Each structure stands twice: as C-alpha cells, then as structure tokens.
Amino acid sequence: MKSLGTLLITVTLIVGLVGCGGVARYDLAISSTAGGSTTTPGEAGPYTYYEGTDVDLVAEAEEGYRFVNWTGDVDTIDDVNAASTTITMNADYVITANFVAQYVLTIESTEGGEVTTPGEGTFAYNEGTVVDLVAEAEEGYRFVNWTGDVDDITNADAASTTVIMNDNYSIAATFRASVLTVGGSGRYDTIQEAINSAGSGDTIQVAQGTYLENIAITTSKSFTLQGGWDSGFTSRSNNCSLTVIEGKGSGSAIEIQAGPDVAIELTIEGFTIRNGIAEWGAGIRIASYGGSNITLLLNNNFITENTATNRGGGISIESAGGSINASVTNSIIAENTANNEGAGIRVYSGGGGVATLTLTKNVITDNTVTHLVEGEGGWDGGGIAVYASPSGSTTLQAINNLFTANEAGFGGGLFGYASGAEAVVTMILTSNIITSNRAQYGAGIFSCSGKTCPVGWLGGLIEWVLTNNTVTGNTASHDVGGIYMYSGSTFGDGGNMTLLMRNDIVYGNTDRQVMLTVEPGRLGVATANMAYSDIGAIGTRGGGTYTTDHVINKDPLFVDPANGLFLLEEGSPCIDSGDPNTVFNDGQRPPAKGTERNDMGAYGGPQNYDWFGLPLLTLVSNLD
C-alpha cells in the first residue's frame, strides 16, 4: 500500500505542473516606453497562461503622446499597430508597448494668401516628423516670410519649405501687397519709406507731385519705381514732369551704392530728377564696389538742373571692383553741370570693375563742364564722359540718341579715355546725331589714351566703332570741331586708340572733321579705318594714321541744318551710298530715302533714327 500511495502523489504533482489534460503554461512579460503604459493585463507580471490562451492587450498613451506599436515576441499578436489587441500564448513571450511624443502644428496666414500644404488649422505629428509647408500668394500680393515658432523651419523666408516637429508650434504665413503706394491716398508719405519696405519684385507707385528727398539704396533690392500715378492710383500718366524728385540742393537726388555681396536690380521710370548738388552724381549716383552687382534701367525720365562739384552732373556711374549694367531709354538729360567731368553723364571703371551703359533714344542737351581754361581746354565730356583706369573695363553703346548743345574743354558731345595697364574702353555709336556741341578741342567727340596728365598712367586701349551717325555743326574754339583722337601727351606715352567708321556723315564742323594725333616724340597709336562715309577734311599729327575706302567729301545736303533737320534732301550724295552689304540696308523709309541700300548718316541703316517716333526739336524746345 505504501508504494501505491507514493505513485499517486507523484502522478498528482506531474499533472499539476503540466495542467489539466496535459496542457502547458507560459509566461507573458510586458513593459512600455516613456509616454504610456499597458493597462491590460498590466505591467507587474510576468503573467502565466495556459497554452493557446488569447490574452487581451490594452495600451494607453499619456497626454502629448500616442501609441505606436508592440515590439518583441509579436508573432502571435493579432495587430501589432493597435493599442487594443490580443496575443495567443504559444510560448514564453516578452513584449513592449511603444509610445512617441506627439506635437501640434497650428497654421494660419495673413491677408493676401494661404497655406496650401498642409493647409490651415491644427495638425498633429509625431516627434521628428518633417512637414512640408507651401504658401501661395494671391494676385497683387507676395509671400514675405513665416513668423511665430520658426526655429525649426528650414528657411523662414521661402514660400515652400519644411518644419521639423520637435515641439508644439504655431506659425503664420505672412503676405504683403506687391504694389506699394506713395503720396496721394497711398500707404507711404515718402519714396524712401516705400523703398525700405519693398521686397523682391515689388512695384512702388508714386503719385504725381514733388517729393523733397535724397533717396538712398544701399542694400540688396529688386523693385520698380514708377512715377505719374493719380492720387487714387487708378491711372498713370507718361508725362515725367508730373512727378518730381527734388534733391533740395543737399546731396544726390538718388544714390544707389552697393558694397561687397550686395545685388541691386532697379527700374526707375516716369520722374523728373532735379536740383541735386553733390561731389559725384548730383542727379543719380550709381556706385559698385568689391564684387557687388547693380542692374539699372532708367526709362522716360527728365534729369535736369543737377550740379556736381566734381564729376557726373546728371548721372555718375562708378565701378571700382564691382559690376554695373545700366540702361537709359527715352529720357532727357539736360542743363546739368559738373566742375570737372561728365556734365550730363560720367561712366568709370577701375580696379577690376566693369561698367556698361546703353543709351537708346535719349536727348542729351545743354549740359556744361564749368571748369574751362581758355587755351588749355579745362575738363572733359559735356554730354558724356567715359573712362577706364588700370584693370577697368567700360563700354558705352549708344543707339538713336541726340547729343546737342553740350559744352566742355575737351569733347563737347562725347569724351572717352583709357589710361593704365588693362584699361579698356569700348564706344559703340549707332545712328546718333551729334550736333551743335562746343569745346576748345574735339567739339563733337574727343578721345585720348595713355599718360595725359601728371597723375595719369601709361597704356590703355580704347576703340570707337561708329556706324550711321551724323556729326555736324559742332564748334571747337581751338582745334577740331568733329572727331579728335589723341594718344599720349607732353606728360608721357600714349595707349592704343582705334576709330572704325562706316556709313557716317562727319561734315560741317569747324576746322578739321577728323584728326588722328600721337604726341610728337611719344609712343602711342591713334589710327582710323573709315569706309563708305561722307567726311570733310581729315588730318594727322605725330604718328597718327588712317585709311579710307569709298569715303567722299561732299555737302550731304541736309534738309534744314540751321533748325536741326538733318534729313537728306533728294539728290544728296549720301543717299544709297553706304556700304552695299545687305546687313547695312536701311530699316525704315522714311526717314531713309532711295532704295534699300544704306543711306549714310543717322537716318540710314537698319537702326536708322526714327524722326517721326521721336520729335527731337519738340523735346528740346520744351526744356525751356
């Protein structure tokens, strides 16, 4: 009996370990990450279950967190991504409930646009999520920036960007009208205030009136400044006399100056700019230094009665190691003065700088360089003076302009000068009229290179390319009324200077019409190649040289030169006498005459002067 009792006890113990019917039991161990806990069955286990038991699992997140998933021994969990699910016990299991911080992104926008991605309102994201942000402006508005909690926004100034969700954030897309209004019923009282507020691509509309301001632009900007608007900003007049920037006689009326890493891109149109008094650029001063860039369009402006105590009465362009690309169109530059250089316009480059000026359909008249010394010439460039010093590159391209009644010691109409190693000046004149200018030397055009004064430099390259211009009626009180090329001086050797002429009329100026001079006893080059042109007396001095090809010396028979009518009479020897190459064929008839073959002078050629589109005499007479 004792052995039977022992057997019964042993069997009972074995059955108790395996379970009823021989079913095994397994342990379930549960944990959770920060941000929540497992409430069913809990986390105090391990919990022991019979094989095959389906155990409920419930995970609950704390505030600011959300459940992510179950990890570990999850093969028999029904849905590892569900906070409430089941697990079937087929072995010992260790599982973890995972939680992640969740942050709220609140988005709104100002008037003028909306946030299209992800939208506007409140959105929840997991910690670390990168959220795309896209803001779109309505017509007449522009995106400015994102404001609010912007530390984790990749670029708060970009309309399309991203934000990394590391906290709860509230942000706003800011928009602003892309048209800013000045004067009248506008938002701003002064032009300067509007410029300070302007963003890239904005337009500043200025109501008609007079603005007593000295405007300064010295930071990176890109905008258009328009005059001529009525007080309600519903319509705009093209009469530039109605909107005046008055420099008050105390500095440049407008100064545009760019230092290192500054980029400025401007359009200024529809203004009278007057009464600036400054050492440089009394009307408008444009200066670029240290690798900066300025792009400027001046259109339909009247720049007048400005006084430079040194250089650049109407406009001064200076590039010293920077880059300037300026264009002036459909404008009048008149009655400005400079003591030394460039009464109408002065353009300069040096020190690796580049300066380019394009003049199209302008009247440049009655500008005077006041420093005149009888018999010694004084200073340079009544209408325009163009310079390059060492390592400078300056280019002038002038098309369909009238240079008239300007005065200087040298170069009453135009003046060009290159001095120093790697100094380059390029002057490209096409279909211009240069008339009634006054100077002691080179009344129409004067050009020099090399060491022409005690502080000058040796060397320099200057090239003039003239096509279909009329140079007539210019008066030199001492020497050469037409075009004077002069290399070197008594102070030193000259540089390299060339003059290329084709289809031009240079006639009826005082004294010689074209003169090529190299200072006697000095090195230098002053040479001309003249073709298919009507040119009066041509002369040389020193080492000056020239060649001619189909050049005539005959009265061009202008219609009424005394009153500024330089159209050709029927029977003029200049009609159909230009270069027969078809690339030079006349563009418009009238004003050209005869066949399509090039007429010499400003009214011939493919870019012939549109007298009927630009009534020059009317413009000039209206200046008084």
Q: What is the pLDDT of residues 50-71, one digit of tens each?
A: 999 999 999 999 988 999 999 9
**Which segments within 73-168 are labelled E, that is strand?**
84-88, 93-109, 113-117, 121-126, 130-137, 141-148, 160-164
Is pLDDT larger for residue 141 or for residue 207? 207
CA distance 158 to 135: 9
CA distance 348 to 389: 8
Claim to verify: residue 433 and residue 545 sit in the same structural domain: yes
Are the C-beta atoms of 609 and 433 separated by less than 8 Å?
yes
Claim to verify: residue 382 and residue 394 sit in the same structural domain: yes
Poorest-pLDDT segment among 23-37, 221-235, 373-387, 603-617 = 603-617
CATH number at residue 71: 3.10.20
Residue 590: pLDDT band by 50, 70, 90 thresholds? confident
Claim to verify: residue 157 and residue 258 sit in the same structural domain: no
Is pLDDT larger for residue 456 or for residue 312? 312
Whether pLDDT at 618 is above 70: no
pLDDT value of residue 374 = 63
Over residues 387-413, mean pLDDT? 97
Residue 300 has a CB neighbour count (10 Å cut-off) of: 18
Are the C-beta atoms of 396 and 426 separated by less than 8 Å?
yes
CA distance 388 to 419: 6
User: Is 388 among the domain residues?
Assistant: yes
CA distance 107 to 134: 11
Query: Residue 5 is inside which H or E element, if any?
Result: helix 2-18
Whether pLDDT at 8 is above 50: no
Claim to verify: residue 406 and residue 435 sit in the same structural domain: yes
CA distance 275 to 57: 86
Whether pLDDT at 380 is above 80: yes
User: Is 516 among the domain residues?
Assistant: yes
**Which segments within 139-186 are labelled E, that is strand?**
141-148, 160-164, 169-177, 179-182
User: Is 284 among the domain residues?
Assistant: yes
Claim to verify: residue 429 and residue 542 sit in the same structural domain: yes
Are the C-beta atoms of 291 and 327 separated by less than 8 Å?
no
Residue 4: pLDDT band by 50, 70, 90 thresholds? very low
In the DSSP assignment, the letter for residue 618 is: H
Number of domains in the chain: 4
Contacts of 44 (CB under 8 A, 6+ apart): none
Whether pLDDT at 619 is above 50: no
pLDDT value of residue 564 = 86
Are the C-beta atoms of 221 and 199 separated by less than 8 Å?
no
Buried b / exposed e along 465-490 (16+ C-beta atoms within 10 A): ebbbbbbbbbbbbbbbbbbbbbbbbe
Query: Residue 541 is inside which H or E element, if any?
Result: strand 538-541
Residue 175 has a CB neighbour count (10 Å cut-off) of: 23
pLDDT value of residue 394 = 98
CA distance 592 to 573: 13
pLDDT value of residue 376 = 57
Residue 395: pLDDT band by 50, 70, 90 thresholds? very high
177, 203, 233 - which closes a domain: 177
Claim to verify: residue 312 and residue 184 sit in the same structural domain: yes
Q: DSSP string spanning 427-464?
A: EEEES-EEES-EEEE-SSEEEEES--STT--S--EEEE
Q: What would the two tokens of residue 26 be?
A: 């397994």
Sign of the alpha-carbon dihedral angle for 82, 86, 89, 95:
positive
Residue 19: pLDDT band by 50, 70, 90 thresholds? very low
Q: DSSP string spanning 456-514?
A: --S--EEEEEEES-EEES-EEEEE-SSEEEEE-BTTB---EEEEEEES-EE-S-SS-SE
Is pLDDT larger for residue 615 or for residue 431? 431
Domain boundaries, position 289: 179-371
The tens digit of pLDDT for each residue in 147-167 reads: 999 999 999 999 999 999 999
CA distance 462 to 486: 11
User: Is 1 among the domain residues?
Assistant: no
Claim to verify: residue 538 and residue 403 sit in the same structural domain: yes
Are the C-beta atoms of 610 and 602 separated by less than 8 Å?
no
Distances (CA, A) of 201 to 111, 257, 379, 482: 19, 19, 41, 45
Claim to verify: residue 78 and residue 172 sit in the same structural domain: no
Poorest-pLDDT segment among 116-120, 359-363, 374-378, 407-411 = 374-378
User: Is 4 among the domain residues?
Assistant: no
Q: DSSP string spanning 116-127?
A: EES-SEEEEEET
Are the C-beta atoms of 506 and 482 separated by less than 8 Å?
yes
Are the C-beta atoms of 341 and 368 separated by less than 8 Å?
no
Residue 16: pLDDT band by 50, 70, 90 thresholds? very low
Claim to verify: residue 353 and residue 423 sit in the same structural domain: no
Poorest-pLDDT segment among 237-251, 290-304, 345-359, 371-385 = 371-385
Q: DSSP string spanning 370-399?
A: ----TTT---B-SSEEEEE-TT-EEEEEEE
51, 78, 100 - which closes a domain: 100
CA distance 185 to 234: 11
| Percent of the chain's residues with pLDDT above 90 | 86
pLDDT value of residue 610 = 63
53, 78, 100 - which closes a domain: 100
**pTM for this model (two decimals):** 0.81
CA distance 409 to 381: 8
Claim to verify: residue 424 and residue 546 sit in the same structural domain: yes
Poorest-pLDDT segment among 171-175, 256-260, 446-450, 489-493 = 489-493
CA distance 42 to 613: 92
The tens digit of pLDDT for each residue in 67-124 reads: 999 999 999 999 999 999 999 999 999 999 999 999 999 999 999 999 999 999 999 9
Over residues 287-307, mean pLDDT? 97
The residues pairing with 476 across neighbouring beta strands, listed in sequence order, are: 439
User: Is 3 among the domain residues?
Assistant: no
Q: What would the two tokens of residue 473 be?
A: 């009626």
Whether pLDDT at 1 is above 80: no
CA distance 150 to 171: 7
Claim to verify: residue 386 and residue 346 sit in the same structural domain: no
| Omega of the bond leading into 556 within 30 degrees of 0 (cis) | no
Over residues 562-574, mean pLDDT? 93
Nearest to 433 by CA among 608, 210, 233, 624: 608
Whether pLDDT at 402 is above 50: yes
When the pLDDT of each residue in the chain is averaged and rounded to a whole number, the result is 92
User: Is 12 among the domain residues?
Assistant: no
Residue 562 has a CB neighbour count (10 Å cut-off) of: 7
User: Is 483 among the domain residues?
Assistant: yes
Claim to verify: residue 187 and residue 322 sit in the same structural domain: yes
Q: What would the two tokens of residue 344 be?
A: 């109408």
Token pair 């005082």: residue: 510
Residue type for 323, please?
A: S
Over residues 467-479, mean pLDDT? 97
Over residues 411-423, mean pLDDT? 95
The tens digit of pLDDT for each residue in 504-547 reads: 999 999 999 999 999 999 999 999 999 999 999 999 999 999 99
Over residues 356-370, mean pLDDT? 97
pLDDT value of residue 22 = 73
Radius of gyration of the chain (CA): 41
Whether pLDDT at 451 is above 90: no
Residue 366 has a CB neighbour count (10 Å cut-off) of: 24
